[in-house]
Amino acid sequence: MRWLNSLTICVALTLLLGIVGLLADLIAPYDPLNTRMFRGLQPPSNVNLMGTDQLGRDVFSWVIYGIRTSLLVGLSSATIAVAIAVLIGLLSGYRGGIIGNTLMRVADVFLSIPRFMLIIVTVVLLSPRISNIILVIAIFSWPEAARVVRSEVLSIKEREYVMAAKALGSRDLDIMVSEILPNVIPTILSLWTLIIADAILTESALGFLGLSDLNYPSLGVMLMMAKNAIFVGGWWVLLFPSIALVILILVFNSLSDKLIERLSPRLG
Amino acid sequence: MIRLKPLLEVRELTVVYKVRDTMKYAVKNVSFTLGEDEVLAIVGESGSGKSTIALSIVGALPENAVVVRGRILFKGVDLLRLRPSERRDINGKEISIIYQDPIAHLNPLRKVRLIFKDLFEDHGVEFNIQKVLELLRKLKVPDPQRVLESYPFQLSGGMAQRVFIALALVLNPKLLIADEPTSALDLTIQAQVVRLLREVRESFRISMIIITHDIGVATSIADRILVMCDGELVEEGSPEEVLLRPKSKYTANLVNSTKTLYEGVMSWVY
């Protein structure tokens, strides 16, 4: 993994994945949702680069669209989660007191119930539409991030330059926005990419359990097909979606690591 | 000495720190006045309460500190009874503070120009870059244009101190508090800062309170010296009085210890 140890490579891979996601319509040779019963479980060939599943769906097209779905869910839910986390973390870290403590107890409640269980139940209750999946993942991802942001804020607000800003008459809002927030951004970026990776995994897991939006091919759904396919020799149904998933998660996880290393002023 | 019109009047100030269930007195019943254009030094060892006085004046006491008694009158207004918003208006515009480690007191992620801009905006004053440049020039900052476009970490210690002093002075405050401006600095830099503070006092009409544990620094800048010990004021007088005719035993010891140290070093050098 030596070659992954550089921020530029991570960013390049992220961009590449992004392009694949954006241009899925052009890259994928077939409509991934198109089932052809007579061509079920075909091994990889010139016609179907990564073979087909039991229902005759093209695995390559599915993987390409699956990457798009993963990125869509990952980016949107992580962005929402981080936005909530920053707001709550800043407020409760800087202000403390009753508001701060109440917010953190709410986060505790979220953290104390097994997250994945909650996500499954909520998605079932709301019906597995893509917007619901994104929202539910976001709503159950912010507490951890809020905790991290809060602890950063708690330490930064004791720094000398925040004291100095106070002594020279800055308003609380200005201190939060221009003294503290810029110094939390490295952490926020790193959290964001980490939550993207986590959300991608959660989305696939939901797909594997059959909780996916049928208009948005999920890598998890193909893995669910693979569960049966491998017993009749269909290794390609398992292999290719898994590789795609591993790459997605690995790239975003390393991106998170590299970002915190590169951006953190303390390590600079 | 001429009695100057008081700008700041501290009356019977008593501050305690709550440490778990116990109360610790940091400042006990301290009263003093500061005239306009006067420079006052508060001298004392660590824990004598001198910094607590400075923090009470700028309203930046830690959360576990309580002012149990006393008043701090600034131009006749009691600073301890102001609402937070009124307090903020005074800080930076009427009363400013400088610290010994200026780089740590500047936000590392903002350019110096933005730090100045924030200060102007916080006080509802239109950002006047010419005024900043002029002030930096007056404080002998070489190439002020470039300094404004630098990040704090790109400044040398001396330069950062000048920038911070400019930040403290740019809105024409009446009172400048220097909290341990020379501690933890080596002697040459210390001399530079002392010289800088002297320059500031000569070129700006401003009152100053210098908090220091170094009686040498205090005597070389101040008009009047307060000596504190265990939260109490033990001595008040002009530098000559304090150095030559100390009234309290503590001050005498303090002056003597400095002398012995100085003589000891000198005999070792020569």
Q: Is residue B260 part of a domain?
A: yes
Q: Is residue A99 part of a domain?
A: yes
Sort residue B106 into left (φ over 0), alpha (ψ -120 to 50) or beta: beta
For residue B85, the distance in angstroms to the closest alpha carbon of chain A comes to: 8
Question: Residue A169: its chain B contacts at CB < 8 A?
Answer: 87-93, 119, 122-123
Mutate to test the interface with A, among B109, B111, B172, B180 (most CBs of A within 10 A): B109
The pLDDT score that the predictor gives to residue A265 is: 58
The pLDDT score that the predictor gives to residue B260 is: 66
Q: Is residue A268 part of a domain?
A: no
Separation between Cα atoms, residue A59 and residue A105, nearest integer Å: 45
Question: Residue B114: its chain A contacts at CB < 8 A?
Answer: 178
pLDDT in tens, chain A (268 residues): 555 567 888 899 999 999 999 999 999 999 999 988 888 889 999 989 999 999 999 999 999 999 999 999 999 999 999 999 999 999 999 988 899 999 999 999 999 999 999 999 999 999 999 999 999 999 999 999 999 999 999 999 988 899 889 888 888 888 999 899 999 998 999 999 999 999 999 999 999 999 999 899 999 999 999 999 999 999 999 999 999 999 999 999 999 988 888 876 554 3
When mean pLDDT is compared across A169-183, B223-237, B245-259, the lowest value belongs to B245-259
CB B133 within 8 A of CB B176: no
Q: Is residue A203 part of a domain?
A: yes
Query: How do residues B92-122 score in pLDDT, each as one tens digit?
Result: 899 999 988 888 899 988 999 999 999 999 8
Query: How do residues A30-62 score in pLDDT, each as one tens digit?
Result: 999 998 888 888 999 998 999 999 999 999 999
Q: Is residue A217 part of a domain?
A: yes
Give the largest Cα separation in chain B, rounded: 58
CB A213 within 8 A of CB A206: no
The enclosing domain of A245 has a CATH number of: 1.10.3720.10
The pLDDT score that the predictor gives to residue B270 is: 54
Residue in chain B closest to A177 (alpha carbons) equals B118
Amino acid at B75: K
Residue A139 has which token pair?
A: 């709503």
Give how many domains chain A has, as a whole number. 1
The answer to ipTM > 0.90 is no
Q: Is residue A246 part of a domain?
A: yes
Query: How do residues A133-170 score in pLDDT, each as one tens digit?
Result: 999 999 999 999 999 999 999 999 988 899 889 888 88
Residue B40 sits in which domain range? 1-83+205-270
Residue in chain B closest to A181 (alpha carbons) equals B109
Alpha helix stretches (DSSP H) within chain B: 50-58, 84-90, 112-122, 129-138, 144-148, 157-169, 187-203, 215-221, 239-244, 249-269
Q: Is residue A197 part of a domain?
A: yes
Average pLDDT over every residue of B243-263:
79
DSSP calls for A125-147? HH---HHHHHHHHHHTTHHHHHH
Q: Is residue B179 part of a domain?
A: no
Average pLDDT, chain B: 87
Contact B108 A183 (CB under 8 A): yes
Query: How do residues B167-197 score in pLDDT, each as one tens digit?
Result: 999 999 999 999 888 776 777 777 888 888 8
The pLDDT score that the predictor gives to residue A169 is: 86
The pLDDT score that the predictor gives to residue A6 is: 77
Give how many domains chain B has, as a whole number. 1
The pLDDT score that the predictor gives to residue A223 is: 94
Share of chain B above pLDDT 70, in %: 93
Separation between Cα atoms, residue B269 and residue B266, nearest integer Å: 5
Mutate to test the interface with B, among A161, A168, A181, A185 (most CBs of B within 10 A): A168
The enclosing domain of B13 has a CATH number of: 3.40.50.300
The pLDDT score that the predictor gives to residue A3 is: 52
Distance, CA of A158 to chain centre: 32
Is the model's pLDDT at B125 over the cut of 70?
Answer: yes
Q: Is residue A133 part of a domain?
A: yes
Residue in chain A closest to B101 (alpha carbons) equals A160
Q: Is residue A137 part of a domain?
A: yes
A242 compared with B214, residue with greater pLDDT = A242
For residue B219, the distance in angstroms to the closest alpha carbon of chain A comes to: 27
B248 compared with A241, residue with greater pLDDT = A241
Count CB neighbours of A230 within 10 A: 14
Separation between Cα atoms, residue A175 and residue A166, nearest integer Å: 8
B228 compared with B266, residue with greater pLDDT = B228
Q: At what angle do helices A142-156 and A59-95 cross, to 10 degrees?
A: 40
The pLDDT score that the predictor gives to residue A4 is: 52
**Contacts of residue B170, Cβ cutoff 8 Å, sequence gap at least 6:** B116, B119, B120, B131, B132, B135
